[in-house]
A and B are shown apart, each in its own frame.
Chain A
Amino acid sequence: MSAVWSYLVAIAVWPGLLFAAPLGWLELWFMRKLVARLQGRQGPPFFQPFFDVMKLLGKETVIPKGVNRGIFLALPLVSLAAVTAALAIVPLPGNPVPSLPGDIVLLLYLMEVPVLCEVLAGYVSRSIYGQVAAMREAILSLAYNLPFLVAIIAMAQVAGSFQMRALQEVPYGPVHLLAALTFLLALPARMKLNPFSIANAEHEIIADSHIEYSGPPLALFKLSHAIEVVLLTELFAVVFIPATPWPPVNLVVYLVAGILVLGGVTLLATATARLRLTQAFRFYWIWGGIASAITMAATLVR
């Protein structure tokens, strides 16, 4: 199989769109169901995220007056494409893409694209609420990216390489644990979950930065978010969970680990109330900064 085909398969089929979308819907349903059960409700039916996306695909798109049509419609596509391409790089068992030197750098870049798209979507929409959401998202990304990037870079430092496969082969040690905790610190904000759901504060600034989006573009944003959830949980599993020599076992372990991480994050989201932007920013620069410093120190001490 030539390299081009393997990339196409990775982006379109596994671990790309065809498998990641249902997996993302499953994970979103799991989060919503867990929140509902913790609040003493029944929660949504199993196919709810799928129905939401299908319904949005069948709706009309209303484009506000004075908005640049091209950018408005391109942003959700770019967001979805970037997040799918990022997932295609993650070395899940059975991923046909050959390992490239420096693919961690590419991955980290691609993971920033959806955030950038959300910020631009808020500013493009000409809605005051959208602009507030975009501003919050931009500022928050400056905060949570500190522990997030340090967790990955510390692992690369230990591996001595910016290659995903090399990261998986690092012998298990204390740096894994510290870096995993630092990663988990950044995860709720990256997933826009409750103590840090500042950019998508649904009753405070009405909606997130997609406030002016409707119909298929909104469906693409929802799909992009579902795949982003898969990407973040599977990235955590691939980097921080020790791999066994058997790929099918690895796959099961990664999926279970992803669900467990989601459960923990959802538990936190249900138990907490939303922080203010300054509080979240201070939290990430003080506690995230301390965690990052300890993680980096551990890589040097080793």
Chain B
Amino acid sequence: MNLIERVIAISRRRSPWICRLNAGSCNGCDIEITPLLSPRYDAEQLGIELHGTPKHADIVLISGTLTLRSRQAILDIYDQVPSPKAVVALGSCPSSGNVFAGSPLVLSESLDNVVPVDVWVPGCPPRPQAILDGIARAAQLLEDGSTKSQIQGQRQNLGGRLS
């Protein structure tokens, strides 16, 4: 790894820009993201910036129960995020559907079957510290080049070179 690649890798950890995606949440997790930007938890210390558009994001925070209608939206928005990227699942809903599991309009599968999830932040809703910790861990994965999408990309590159 040469010097510029090393600097870029460090920058990925030091400047994780996040984008929220509400996949059918009760808004509890989204309300818990807001204090991250407030004086108490001040996410800017870690270089975290909240961006409205997935094109500027490195980390997508996906919250809420997956519904039949949000599945395609998640895929679309995930595709718009330029790689390298990481996905953080907020709360219990993306993994299991939580209390909404079994409802007729709820997709009864884990978020991991839709997009590759790197960090799960448990809780209903998770505390702001836990969310901050999840983002920091995802940023560390981005530096190491070991998010699921990065590993998949490396495999594809390798496959292309071998064939």
Interface residues of A (CB under 8 A from B): 32, 36, 39-45, 47-48, 50-52, 54-55, 57-62, 129, 202-203, 206-207, 211-215, 218
Contacts and interface: CB of A to CB of B under 8 A. Distances in A.
Interface residues of B, number: 25
B30 interface: no
B56 to A, nearest CB: 6
Given A41-B39, A45-B45, A45-B47, A55 B55 contact: no
A203 B52 contact: yes
B45 A43 contact: yes
B56 A60 contact: no
A43 B47 CA distance: 9
B11 to A, nearest CB: 4
B45 A42 contact: yes
A42 B56 contact: no
Contact of B47 (A39, A48, A206, A211): A48
A214 B47 contact: no
B55 A213 contact: yes
B7 interface: yes
A58 to B, nearest CB: 4
Nearest to B48: A44
The 4 closest A-B pairs by CB, nearest first: A58-B8, A206-B52, A54-B11, A55-B11
B51 A43 contact: no
24 contacts: A36-B42, A36-B44, A41-B38, A42-B45, A43-B45, A44-B47, A45-B47, A52-B11, A52-B47, A55-B11, A55-B12, A55-B15, A58-B12, A59-B82, A59-B84, A60-B84, A62-B55, A202-B52, A203-B52, A206-B53, A211-B55, A212-B53, A214-B55, A214-B56
Interface string B141-153: 0000000000000
Contacts of B45: 41-45
Interface of B: 5, 7-12, 14-15, 38-39, 42, 44-45, 47, 51-53, 55-56, 58, 80, 82-84
Question: Which of A51, A60, A212 gathers the greatest number of chain B CB atoms within 10 Å?
Answer: A51
A51 B55 contact: no
Nearest to A32: B44
A62 B83 CA distance: 9
Contacts of B56: 207, 214, 218
Contacts of B44: 32, 36, 41-44
Given A42-B42, A45-B45, A214 B8 contact: no
A301 B45 CA distance: 53
A41 B8 CA distance: 27
Given A55-B11, A129-B53, 7 more contacts: A40-B39, A41-B42, A43-B44, A60-B84, A62-B80, A212-B55, A214-B82
A57 B8 contact: yes
Nearest to B5: A58
Contacts of B11: 50-52, 54-55, 58
A212 B52 CA distance: 11
A38 to B, nearest CB: 11
Contacts of A207: 51-53, 56
